[in-house]
Amino acid sequence: MRIKHDEIVAFIAVAETKSFSRAAKDLGITQPALSQRLRKLEDGLGTKLLDRSTRSVSLTKVGEVFFPVASRANAAFQRSLIEIRDIIALNSGHVAVACNTSLVDTLLPDVIEQFAAAHPRIHVKVLDMSGPSVMRSVAQGEVDLGIAQMADVPPELMFEPLLRDQLHLICRKDHPLARRKIVEWKELANYKMIEMAPSMASHKIVAQQFAAYGGGSSGKYEVAHSAALLALVAKNLGVAAMPKFVLRKRPDLDLVARPLASPKYERVSGIVTLSTRTLSPAASALAGLLRVALVAASAK
């Protein structure tokens, strides 16, 4: 049994007006077209809904039972259309974004602020996680989009590179290396290092460089979040290698960033999405703001 919405609408119009001519006029169709819709509806249900004579139209017993059912179905359909229009117009809906820890509390808050000002009725969910976890979250459909460093991107994902940042030495202003304009990796060998956890993108780079130059002999600390890393650096417990924009997390701390060289490491961050899924209007709007912010951060 296949029943179309226009057939239900035709039945409701006739039931309410008790007239084929008035119902056809209200619907903007011809009487033959109206009769055809009603005939298809009755054929689909396998019963008569209307008794029609030359002078009157009345509901059959089944028609009387079906009328409130049809009215509720039509009302639900109209509400769904309104909801869809609101989603398209960004008057309602939700968007979920996963972001790596270095950007979630530096770049992302400003973007969310702009998005909330433009679309105050959209519910935004933010997940803070490592880059590899961002990739998994997007691939599994847990979020609409993600922000992560470029890595081995699975075939089901698309990566849009937008932000290039160089690894910098992060240290206190009164640290001996703070007086240098550029610092080489080998110069860190005699200093305690504060590293991110192995799941973080920067961990592997730091570990490789320290292994190459015999560093780490003075000890090291390991943390899961960059905010904790900055707090330990501020206590002069060691130095760190991170993008300089992490300093935005704690502008109150007396920390500085100096470019690390020999070799120079650049990381590329961008937006991650499912290649087989079209972003919702809300997710697309958020992605647009993220693109602007990431490109702007790359230019600084």
Q: Is residue 87 pLDDT above 80, yes or no?
A: no
| 193-196 and 220-223 strand pairing | parallel
Q: What is the pLDDT of residues 43-81, one digit of tens each?
A: 989 899 999 877 788 999 999 999 999 999 888 888 888
Other beta carbons within 10 angstroms of residue 162's beta carbon come to: 19
Q: For residues 227-237, give the mean pLDDT.
A: 90
Q: For residues 161-167, give the mean pLDDT.
A: 87
On whether both 47 and 188 belong to a single domain, the answer is no
Residues in the chain: 300
Say if CB 227 and CB 250 are below 8 A apart: yes
On whether both 114 and 262 belong to a single domain, the answer is no
Q: Residue 102: how many CA atoms within 13 Å on its side-chain side?
A: 27
Decide which of 220 and 113 is more confident: 113
On whether both 202 and 260 belong to a single domain, the answer is yes
Provide the CA 51 distance to its chain's centre, in angstroms. 54
Average pLDDT, whole number, for the chain?
86
On whether both 140 and 60 belong to a single domain, the answer is no
On whether both 276 and 145 belong to a single domain, the answer is yes
On whether both 201 and 170 belong to a single domain, the answer is yes
- Which percentage of the chain shows pLDDT scores above 90? 41
On whether both 34 and 104 belong to a single domain, the answer is no
Say if CB 220 and CB 189 are below 8 A apart: no
- Which percentage of the chain shows pLDDT scores above 70? 93
Domain ends where: 88, 117, 152? 88
Q: Is residue 218 pLDDT above 70, yes or no?
A: no
On whether both 157 and 203 belong to a single domain, the answer is no
On whether both 63 and 207 belong to a single domain, the answer is no
List all residues 6 or more positions away from 107 whose beta carbon is below 8 Å from its beta carbon.
245, 248, 293, 294, 297
List all residues 6 or more positions away from 162 whose beta carbon is below 8 Å from its beta carbon.
269, 270, 271, 290, 291, 294, 295, 298
On whether both 118 and 106 belong to a single domain, the answer is yes
The predicted pLDDT at position 299 comes to 62
The predicted pLDDT at position 214 comes to 53
CATH code for the domain in which residue 22 is found: 1.10.10.10
CATH code for the domain in which residue 224 is found: 3.40.190.10
Q: For residues 230-238, give the mean pLDDT.
A: 91
Alpha helices in the chain (DSSP H): 5-17, 20-27, 31-45, 61-88, 101-104, 108-118, 131-139, 201-213, 226-234, 281-299
3-state secondary structure 72-137: HHHHHHHHHHHHHHHHHCCCCCEEEEEECHHHHCCCHHHHHHHHHHHCCCCEEEEEECCHHHHHHH
Say if CB 31 and CB 75 are below 8 A apart: no
Decide which of 300 and 165 is more confident: 165
Number of domains in the chain: 3
pTM (predicted TM-score)? 0.67
On whether both 273 and 158 belong to a single domain, the answer is yes
Residue that has been written with the tokens 């120079």 in this structure: 264
The predicted pLDDT at position 1 comes to 64
Decide which of 166 and 294 is more confident: 294
Q: What is the pLDDT of residues 119-131, one digit of tens each?
A: 998 999 999 988 8
Integer angstrom CA distances of residue 272 from 109, 153, 261, 269: 18, 9, 29, 9
Integer angstrom CA distances of residue 155 from 188, 274, 284: 38, 9, 21
Provide the CA 209 distance to its chain's centre, in angstroms. 34
On whether both 57 and 76 belong to a single domain, the answer is yes
Domain ends where: 88, 115, 134? 88
Say if CB 230 and CB 252 are below 8 A apart: no
The predicted pLDDT at position 255 comes to 93
Question: Distance between CA 152 and CA 229 in Å, rounded?
Answer: 26
The predicted pLDDT at position 116 comes to 93
pLDDT band at 217; cut points 50, 70, 90: very low
Tokens of 21: 């001519």
Q: Which domain, by its residues, includes 66? A: 5-88
Decide which of 164 and 97 is more confident: 97
